[in-house]
């Protein structure tokens, strides 16, 4: 039998089971019980139905200020069986292609739970259709790996118009846990919440963790888990976090798989360094028969495709290069189109950045490539740090990297360009490198 929206209404189920438990602590400190948030969601669903919207419709939700009213609107939209198309306010999808966005809203998607844009870190974002079965399977797999429960308080500081932020709402409601909302990431406020025990789980992208550790290296004894994903995390950063006593669990996923695909198991952080852990329960991964290859994902978490496009045929080809180590942990190398052939040698820029980052002479380093008449492609290191550190950094590179992996050029910047998702904007990095050469 096909599932209905009621079958996956985790808010309603937790409200019935534990009405007085805390569901949400808003940015202004207001506390909403499950009963209160459930009632707000019911009112939102009734308004939506009264407007003539019916199950299977798409509703555009432009995210500006994130507060309890917006979160209740989202829950009400799901409750009405309507698929929210969640977009950042002023999204390029709307400003550049308003006609296309209007055409999307005319579509009928009766089996779709939510439509979320990909991050766009490597180009234009695409709207991903996530079914109710996708979301339910993703929540179950994540819960089995993390062990989160009704006693947990999950910090929501990620953008809610990306899958990482939305997933916090679903994962918490499914077990009756509390969401602690920070509508924008402020490292001082986040550090205070983590130190005080106001939160026990947090989802960060690497730039967030950098800012937190630069402000306050901990320890944070009340923390149960920090999911670190959304972008490649350099080993130096993970080691800093572990040294500070943070329970960092590196994770790998994408919008097309409803967030998590693989995550480090609690208690295995040290031996898992360099990897993103084992696949989640129910998730199948392959990387080819020999050595590194494209990461391919199958299982019930995989989206059927993109809005306005035909259904996916077969498994999800991620476009990422990686391999499974001898312990079954996934090592992600880079995007396939990021692999560089320089002087006839294959080079993975993320690996080079990881090695340079371990030098501790710099705050952050990323590596991109530019066309080169002699080498075909030449590596360029973009560094946040003092330019006076360049000789030591070059010496480090000469000691730890083969000659073909040593950057040909070094660019020092005050800060990395960041997307609204918190990820490094690699398109802008590539443009910075091209302008400098």
Closest CA to 378 of 352, 413, 399, 359: 352
Average pLDDT (343-368) is: 85
Is-contact 276 262, C-beta < 8 A? yes
The DSSP bridge partners found for residue 411 are 382
Q: How far apart are CA 330 and CA 436, in angstroms?
A: 35
For the ranges 40-44, 88-92, 183-187, the one whose mean pLDDT is highest: 40-44
pLDDT of residue 376: 84
Per-residue pLDDT tens over the stretch 96-128: 666 677 888 889 999 999 999 987 554 578 899
Least confident of 10-19, 216-225, 326-335, 412-421: 412-421
CA angle 290, 296, 299 (to 5 degrees): 130
Q: How far apart are CA 364 and CA 372, in angstroms?
A: 25
Average pLDDT (380-400) is: 91
Sign of CA pseudo-dihedral 129, 135, 137, 143: positive
Question: Hey, what long-range contacts does 391-398 have (CB within 8 A, 24 or more apart)?
Answer: 392/359, 392/361, 393/356, 393/359, 393/361, 393/362, 396/356, 396/359, 396/361, 397/355, 397/356
CA angle 346, 348, 354 (to 5 degrees): 145
Distance of CA 389 to the CA centre of its chain: 32
Q: How would residue 310 be classed by pLDDT, with cut points 50, 70 and 90?
A: very high
Q: How far apart are CA 174 and CA 162, in angstroms?
A: 19
Per-residue pLDDT tens over the stretch 194-228: 999 999 999 999 889 989 999 998 889 999 999 99
Residues contacting residue 81 through CB under 8 Å, at least 6 positions apart = 4, 5, 54, 55, 56
Per-residue pLDDT tens over the stretch 266-280: 999 999 998 999 999
pLDDT of residue 1: 31
pLDDT of residue 377: 87
If one counts every other C-beta atom within 10 angstroms of the C-beta of residue 107, the result is 16
Least confident of 15-19, 29-33, 258-262, 291-295: 291-295
Average pLDDT (11-32) is: 96
Per-residue pLDDT tens over the stretch 296-307: 999 999 999 999
Per-residue pLDDT tens over the stretch 34-54: 999 999 999 999 999 999 999
Per-residue pLDDT tens over the stretch 135-147: 999 999 999 999 9
Tokens 């960092």 correspond to what residue?
A: 248
Q: How would residue 2 be classed by pLDDT, with cut points 50, 70 and 90?
A: very low
Is-contact 303 134, C-beta < 8 A? yes
Tokens 């360029």 correspond to what residue?
A: 380
CA distances from 334 to 104, 225, 322, 323 (A): 32, 25, 7, 11
Domains of the chain with bracketed CATH = 5-279 (3.40.50.12780), 339-436 (3.30.300.30)
Q: From edge to edge, which strands make up the β-sheet containing 409-413?
A: 364-372, 376-384, 409-413
Mean pLDDT of the chain: 90
Per-residue pLDDT tens over the stretch 149-169: 999 999 999 999 999 999 999
What are the counts of helices (DSSP H) followed by strands (DSSP E) for the chain?
13, 23
Query: In the chain, pLDDT over 70 holds for what percent of residues?
Result: 95
């Amino acid at each position: 039998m096909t599932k209905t929206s009621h079958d996956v209404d985790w808010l309603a189920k937790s409200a019935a089971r534990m009405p007085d438990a805390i569901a949400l602590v808003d940015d202004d400190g207001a506390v909403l019980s499950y009963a209160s948030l459930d009632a707000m969601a019911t009112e939102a669903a009734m308004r939506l139905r009264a407007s003539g919207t019916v199950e299977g419709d798409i509703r555009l939700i432009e995210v500006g200020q994130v507060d309890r009213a917006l979160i209740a609107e989202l829950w009400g939209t799901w409750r009405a069986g309507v698929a929210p198309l969640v977009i950042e306010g002023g999204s390029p999808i709307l400003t550049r292609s308003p006609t296309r966005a209007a055409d999307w809203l005319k579509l009928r998607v009766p089996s779709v739970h939510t439509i979320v844009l990909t991050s766009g870190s490597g180009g234009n974002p695409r709207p991903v259709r996530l079914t109710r079965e996708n979301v339910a399977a993703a929540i179950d797999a994540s819960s089995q790996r993390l062990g989160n429960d009704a006693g947990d308080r999950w910090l929501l500081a990620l953008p809610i118009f990306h899958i990482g932020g939305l997933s916090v709402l679903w994962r918490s409601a499914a077990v009756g846990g509390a969401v602690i909302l920070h509508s924008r990431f402020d490292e001082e406020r986040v550090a205070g919440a983590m130190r005080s025990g106001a939160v026990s789980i947090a989802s960060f992208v690497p730039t967030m963790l950098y800012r937190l550790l630069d402000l306050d290296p901990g320890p944070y004894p009340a923390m149960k888990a920090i999911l670190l994903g959304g972008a490649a995390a350099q080993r130096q950063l993970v080691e800093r976090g572990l040294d500070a006593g943070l329970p960092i669990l590196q994770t790998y996923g994408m919008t097309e798989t409803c967030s998590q695909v693989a995550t480090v198991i609690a208690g295995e952080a040290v031996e898992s360094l360099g990897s993103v852990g084992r696949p989640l329960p129910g998730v199948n991964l392959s990387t080819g028969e020999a050595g590194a290859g494209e990461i391919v994902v199958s299982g019930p978490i995989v989206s059927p495709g993109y809005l306005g496009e035909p259904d996916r045929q077969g498994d999800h080809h991620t476009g990422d290069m990686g391999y499974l180590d001898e312990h079954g942990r996934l090592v992600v190398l880079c995007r396939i189109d990021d692999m560089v052939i320089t002087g006839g040698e294959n080079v993975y820029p993320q690996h080079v950045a990881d090695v340079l980052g371990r030098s501790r002479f710099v705050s952050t380093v990323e590596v991109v490539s530019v066309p080169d008449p002699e080498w075909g492609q030449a590596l360029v290191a973009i560094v946040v740090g003092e330019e006076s550190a360049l000789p030591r950094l070059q010496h480090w590179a000469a000691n730890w990297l083969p000659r073909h992996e040593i950057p040909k050029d070094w660019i020092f910047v005050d800060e990395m360009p960041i997307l609204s998702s918190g990820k490094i904007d690699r398109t802008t990095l590539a443009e910075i490198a091209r302008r400098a050469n």
